Structure 1
Amino acid sequence: MLKEERQAFIMRQINLHNKVLSTDLSTMLRISEDTVRRDLKEMAEEGKILKVHGGAIGRSFHHPFNTENMVYAQEAKQQIAEKTIRLLKNDMVVLTGGGTTMIELAKRIPENLRATFFTISPLVALQLVEHTHLTVISIGGQLSKSSNVHIGASVINQLADIKVDLCLLGANGFSVEEGMTDSDWEVVQVKRAMIRASKKLAILSIAEKLGSSQRMKVCDLNLIHYLITELPPENHLMSAYQQLDLELF
Structure 2
Amino acid sequence: MLKEERRGRILEMLGVEGKLVASDLSVALGVSEDTVRRDLRELAEAGKLRRVHGGALPRSAVTGTHEARRRQASAGKVAVARAAVGLVENGQVIILDGGTTALEVVRHLPAGLEATVVTHSPTTAAALAEHPNLEVVVIGGTLYKDNILAVGAQTVEAFASVNADLCLQGIWSMHPEVGVSHPYYEEMLVKRAMIESADRVVALASAEKLGTASSFVVAPATAYTHLATDHDVPEEILGPFRELGLEIAKG
Cα distance between partner residues in 1 of 2:202 and 2:165: 11
Map of 1:229 onto structure 2 = 229
Identity of aligned residues (%): 30
Map of 1:147 onto structure 2 = 147
SS of the residue corresponding to residue 169 of structure 1 reads strand
Map of 1:109 onto structure 2 = 109
Call closer, same or farther: CA 1:122–1:110 in 2, change over 3 Å. Answer: same
Map of 2:127 onto structure 1 = 127
Cα distance between partner residues in 2 of 1:141 and 1:118: 14
Cα distance between partner residues in 2 of 1:163 and 1:184: 25
Cα shift at 1:152: 0.7
Map of 2:203 onto structure 1 = 203
Q: How does 1:13-28 map to 2 (within 5 A)?
A: 26-28=45-47
Q: How does 1:1-249 map to 2 (within 5 A)?
A: 26-29=45-48, 57=65, 59-61=67-69, 71-232=71-232, 235-249=235-249
Cα distance between partner residues in 1 of 2:44 and 2:118: 35
- TM-score scaled by structure 1? 0.73
Cα shift at 1:161: 1.2
Contact persistence 1:233–1:242 (CA under 8 A): no
Tell me, which stretches of 5 or more residues in structure 1 are unaligned?
A: 2-22, 31-49, 51-55, 65-70
Tell me, which stretches of 5 or more residues in structure 2 are unaligned?
A: 5-41, 50-62
SS of the residue corresponding to residue 65 of structure 2 reads strand
Q: CA offsets per residue over residues 210-234 of structure 1, 9 Å max, x none? A: 1100111100111110001013577
Contact persistence 2:66–2:148 (CA under 8 A): no
Number of aligned positions between the proteins: 196
Contact persistence 1:181–1:214 (CA under 8 A): yes
SS of the residue corresponding to residue 75 of structure 1 reads helix
Highest RCO, 1 vs 2 (Cα 8 Å, sep ≥ 6): 2
Contact persistence 2:66–2:147 (CA under 8 A): no
Q: CA RMSD in A?
A: 2.2
Call closer, same or farther: CA 1:58–1:118 in 2, change over 3 Å. Answer: closer
